[in-house]
Amino acid sequence: MRYILRHKYGCRLFLGIFLALFLPSRAIALICPADSSEVQSYIGDFEGYDTSLAQTTFGTTPDPQAFLMLAGDIPDWDTTASDDLIEIWDSGHNSTPSQEGDYHAELSANEPSTLFRDITAPEDDIILWSVWHRGRVGTDVANVILDDPAANSNVEQVMSTGNTSWQNYSGTYVVPAGQPQTRFSLTSVSSASPLAGAGNFIDLVEITVCRPNPPAMVDVAKTSSLFLTGAPEGVFAVPGQDMIYSVTVSNIGGSAATSDSVIVIDQLPAQITFLNDDLDAGGPDVHPGNDPIAFTDNGSGLSFSFSSDVAFSDSVTVPSDFSDCSYTPSSGYDPNIRHICINPKGAFAAPAPNSSFTVSFRARID
């Protein structure tokens, strides 16, 4: 994407824009893309529920058990089961270890059903998800669905897993326009068991919501000050007086700009003449270097070389890009220079907390 920004001082700036976490031992690290930030995260390993509230318990202590729990007693999840029951297993019940921790869930409690949770996220948010799946007596099949709750039909992943080990499935979902809530569903499709209430183990569900960072956005300000070389008090900006002009460019957005994409083109008024010499010649040495243009960085992440990142134009028409600035200036005051073109290198960093640079030059009022 490419933006052209104009401002009242005659500059034109071109900006191209791209758009130690504690985890359970077998968790999949869901890392947001570089141009986004994490706004929500959830790790559901079916731990910490009060199994004393179980409606039905299978097995006896001290052996591992299984529990039929009302959905209201499982605050992270809801179910489509007609009896509103969710089945939670102790690790090791019926010789089936949990993938992580002490508990896991079974999608088919008394009937094939869906476990789901709703995620509030605006359009263009990125939902990263991961889930572990296992069959009970053979290969079981379940769907991962992410969709508008009213539709709930968009299958993101078909999970088909045998009963000898846990298998991880993961994916990425971008929230479409007009969908303020997204339903994350785990739906039982089939089971190797002939029993309606058997099949499709689920464990360690992870969900991370990433929000795209605001694009890079620039603010441009141009200032001027008298270049004084011991002049008496009361000297003003009048013809024959040299001025120092400074253009400060700041990234006030939420992202870095594309590498090498920042181009500043400053149009000089007809009433001033650029000095192609040491900016501080004949006066105090207050600017870095001894080139006609000084570059002062303030956390921009950019590099600057006068020999390669500065060019000039003698055209009355504003150049459309850095490559259009091809005039070779004369030494000293050069009245033919009408545009100064500056293209520092690198990616213009996002503010943290500041990201700006200033270019300064000297010109005479005619």
Question: For position 365, what pLDDT does the model report?
Answer: 95
Phi, psi of 226 (to 5 degrees): -70, 140
Helices and strands, number each (H, E), in the chain: 1, 24
Please name the residue that has the structure tokens 């479409």: 176
Instruction: Name the pLDDT band for 15 (thresholds 50, 70, 90).
Output: very low
Q: For the chain, what is the mean pLDDT?
A: 90
Give Cα 147 distance to the centre of its chain. 22
The domain segmentation of the chain, as residue ranges, is 2-17+215-365, 36-212
Percent of the chain, pLDDT > 90? 79
2-17+215-365 topology per CATH: Immunoglobulin-like (2.60.40)
Angstrom distance (rounded) from CA 306 to CA 342: 9
Which of 364, 342, 348 is CA-nearest to residue 298? 348
CATH class of 36-212: mainly beta
Question: For position 272, what pLDDT does the model report?
Answer: 96
pLDDT digit string, tens, across residues 27-53:
678 999 988 999 999 998 899 999 999
pLDDT digit string, tens, across residues 123-143:
999 999 999 999 999 999 999
Structural contact between residues 128 and 27, judged by C-beta atoms closer than 8 angstroms: no
> Taking 90 as the threshold, does the pLDDT of residue 22 lie above it?
no
Q: How many CB atoms lie within 10 A of CB 101?
A: 16
> Taking 60 as the threshold, does the pLDDT of residue 293 lie above it?
yes
Give the DSSP H or E segment for 320.
Answer: none
Question: For position 24, what pLDDT does the model report?
Answer: 43
Question: For position 23, what pLDDT does the model report?
Answer: 40
> For the whole model, what pTM was predicted?
0.70
Q: What is the DSSP code string of 120-143?
A: E--TT-EEEEEEEEE-SSS-EEEE
